[in-house]
Amino acid sequence: MSFDVDVTVRRGERAIVCRFASAGGITALVGPSGAGKSSVLEALAGLLRPEAGRIAVGGTVLFDSLARVNLPPEARACGVMFQDLRLFPHRRVLGNLLYGQRLAPPERRFLSLEEVADFLDIAPLLGRRPRTLSGGEAQRVAIGRALLSGPRFLLMDEPLTALDDARREAIIAVIERIRDELALPILLVSHDRADVARLADTVVELRP
């Protein structure tokens, strides 16, 4: 499934121009802090309206300023993993996962809760609160919630930030399994060149 992006996104006084096309797999947005990587990810998710341009994923147009197309986030069928994870602190892990599942219409549910828990090795965590999880455990729960939303593609904002080496390797392995076993295209934001060199099939560089 391809990504086809040509947008101008405005943050305050600054215009962020991003153009790329990729054939699927893992596409990495890289660049220094402030380059606009997260803004472009939010534009694909439908959380930030571009000033102009076009976004299509797998041939489906998500945004086109000339054609006046701007699908709402829930209609874009994308799973989003935010940098701050945004797990609900008042819900246990199970409740966070079920929230993701409720976002998916039945025809898009390609994984069950049990399959996701097994795939990510989070079954032992289902009764715990997010505050009791390690960084790597919380990352896997956030990925699980995104997968249960029945996505056509995944958007991941700095999924490897603030993890020690062992947990980083575990999350890298999960991302590789999603690409290889589930065949979901992934747009990944990262500032780490080594991670990008290891994971990405296509690299898009943004400059401030």
What is the domain count for the chain?
1
| Six token digits for residue 16 | 């962020």
CA distance 18 to 36: 9
pLDDT in tens, 107-131: 888 889 999 999 999 999 999 999 9
CA distance 71 to 145: 22
CA 20 to chain centroid: 17
CATH assignment at residue 79: 3.40.50.300
Amino acid at 206: L
| Six token digits for residue 202 | 């296509």
Question: What integer pLDDT is reported at residue 194 of this predicted model?
Answer: 85
How buried is residue 17: exposed, middle or buried, by Cβ count under 10 Å (0-12/13-18/19+)? middle
pTM for the predicted model, two decimal places: 0.90
Which range marks the domain in which residue 86 is found? 3-205
Q: Where are the beta strands (DSSP E) in the chain?
A: 3-11, 14-22, 26-30, 52-57, 60-64, 69-70, 78-81, 153-157, 186-189, 202-205
Are 200 and 22 in contact by the 8 Å Cβ rule? The answer is no
Radius of gyration of the chain (CA): 16
Are 51 and 16 in contact by the 8 Å Cβ rule? The answer is no
Question: What integer pLDDT is reported at residue 107 of this predicted model?
Answer: 84
Are 55 and 40 in contact by the 8 Å Cβ rule? The answer is no
135-137-128 Cα angle (round to 5): 110
Question: What integer pLDDT is reported at residue 67 of this predicted model?
Answer: 97
Instruction: Return averaged pLDDT per consecutive 10 residues of the chain, 208 residues in all.
Output: 92 90 92 90 96 95 97 93 90 94 85 92 95 92 93 92 84 91 92 87 90
Question: What integer pLDDT is reported at residue 5 of this predicted model?
Answer: 97
